[in-house]
Chain A
Amino acid sequence: MASLNVRATLVSLLILVLLLGLWEALNQPPAATEALTEFELLMGGADDEARVPPPSAVLQHAWHELSNPFYDAGPNDKGIGIQLAYSLLRVLTGYFGAALIAIPLGFVIGMSPLMHKALNPFIQVLRPISPLAWMPLALFIIKDSEQSAIFVIFICSIWPMLINTAFGVANVREDWIRVAQTHELSHLQTAFQVILPAAAPTILTGMRISIGIAWLVIVAAEMLVGGTGIGYYVWNEWNNLDLNSVIFSILMIGVVGMVLDMALGRIEKLVQYEE
């Protein structure tokens, strides 16, 4: 009997082949009987119905794009690598900016019942606001589309980190705090030597949720502000009716999101402890 991992991989591959096969089979352009108009060509064939390009075409396109991901031929023609790099840069800037504020503030809220009660109403009202709803206001105040996108990332990644940090800090076991007290640790020493390691797994879970949300939001934000980035790229290729590129970039968004999540998952494992 092969190990569970091997069997799972086999099943995954089987599903992949089935899906691709189905997709390929259902999306063959009908054999052309007469010369196609340019519009018909664009829409995938002489059919009335628009067709999604088959996986073979997408893969071919992907190979082509990935063999030269960083080319730059003007504002509307940049390699997928460059577009992803723009998006990542925005996401990481907004995300770390949010962490810089959310984690210390979460400590304060978690340690002080007064601050918890005082700030809770603000958090409850601000948190459910869709990050994109901030966009017009951000554009008006900041007057820069690039920085507005970063602000939107900032605002959407702050909440999970803030709430998880506050929760983790507030729920550090009383016994561990008592250990710190009986050893005469100062407040700062207690925060760094006891509360931070104790709450780290919860904080990291918040950070992991945040990076996921930030990556979701950046695509939408870039569709709005335009210029550069993977979100803009998807929208631009849609306007060009280049469905190969659209599907390819959708897949790339998924892959990058997965890598980000895995990276945070690794760090989460590092700070995990067993009681």
Chain B
Amino acid sequence: MPNHFVSVEGLTKKYPSKNGELVVFEDANFTIEKGEFVCIIGHSGCGKSTILNVLAGLDSPTGGNIIMDGKEVIGPSLDRGVVFQNYSLLPWLSTLHNVSFGVKARWPQWSKQQVEAHSSKFLEMVGLAHSLHKKPSELSGGMRQRVSIARAFATSPKLLLLDEPFGALDALTRGVIQDELIKIWNETHQTVFMITHDVDEAILLADRILLMTNGPDARVAESVKISIERPRNRANIIEDPGYYKIRNHLVNFLIKRSGQLSGSDTGRGEPPKLVDPANSHLSAEQIRTQSEDSTSLAVKAAS
């Protein structure tokens, strides 16, 4: 336990509601290693954003705790950078100043030139070298999200939290920014925790994917290892022998097991089941046919 970079223990979030209380998730346990890229997938409303906000320290849990780098997470901190779903740029600041805003907060002792040079470097990495002095309202949705990503990476947080960063973008833009995210991540090797709805995006980016069951009373049920070599890119990743095994496993979970497992007591309070579909002895076809017996499957795949 103490060796994990981030460990989430017994995390619970409840909201008071008209009839008693709404349990968003209960007793969630998972870990993140240093330098790891972890994605979390689950149906809408299962509590992904809630987990991310608790990790960010913007929201406090009803129970359980989060230890990062040996310290408990209490309140927001520059150690945890957040990219919000709706970009959250400050509209009265230029692109450059939106990034330097964060850099200045991170290194208050830096000179103005240092701050600007560092900020422009990160904006260049996401291909915005020519838009330094534009206001967010003059940028497209994709460009705004790039600024937001640059802002988060530029402060070099120990943990980066991305809440569906590409949710509002069209497929083409999404692809381009995914490539940029891979590029910037390759250069910095930061630890990333990212929410997504897109299975292919998760396989492309993640070292490991956490799967959540449907809410309310959701759980982090499985932890799927993505055994595909890096560097990956969108063109050749589908040729990897493990790709479809992983993809089928994820889709199968989302269509079938996420609903079946929801509210059941199997594996409650335990860490998520480790699965490595690419290296499992089950073929993709077998996974599809055997999925009726949903709960036993996860165990087999793990063995």
Contact = CB atoms under 8 A, between A and B. Distances in A.
Interface in A177-236: 178-179, 181-185, 193-194, 197-198, 200
14 contacts: A175-B86, A176-B88, A178-B58, A178-B76, A178-B84, A181-B76, A182-B76, A182-B77, A183-B101, A184-B77, A271-B92, A273-B92, A274-B137, A275-B136
Contacts of B70: none
B90 A182 contact: no
Interface of A: 175-176, 178-179, 181-185, 193-194, 197-198, 200, 271, 273-275
Contacts of A274: 91, 135, 137
Contacts of B90: 176, 179, 194, 197-198
A265 B136 CA distance: 24
B246 interface: no
Nearest to B155: A183
A149 B56 CA distance: 54
Interface residues of B, number: 22
A190 to B, nearest CB: 11
A273 B97 CA distance: 15
B82 interface: yes
Nearest to A183: B105
Interface in B64-83: 76-78, 80-82
B249 to A, nearest CB: 34
> Looking at chain B's contact residues, is the secondary structure mostly helix, strand, loop, or mixed?
loop
A173 to B, nearest CB: 8
A148 B27 CA distance: 67
**5 interchain residue pairs of minimum CB distance:** A274-B137, A273-B92, A183-B105, A175-B88, A181-B76
B102 interface: yes
A273 B91 contact: yes
Given A175-B86, A176-B90, A182 B101 contact: no
Given A184-B105, A273-B135, A179 B88 contact: yes
Interface in B120-143: 135-137
B78 A184 contact: yes
A193 B101 contact: yes
B138 to A, nearest CB: 8
A198 B92 contact: yes
Contacts of A273: 91-92, 135, 137
Contacts of A175: 84, 86, 88
Contacts of B101: 183, 193
Nearest to B84: A175
Contacts of A193: 101
Contacts of B105: 183-185
B102 A183 contact: yes
Nearest to A193: B101
Contacts of B81: 182
A271 B92 CA distance: 8
A53 B76 CA distance: 72
A179 B91 CA distance: 12
B86 A182 contact: no
Interface string B34-56: 00000000000000000000001
A193 B84 CA distance: 19
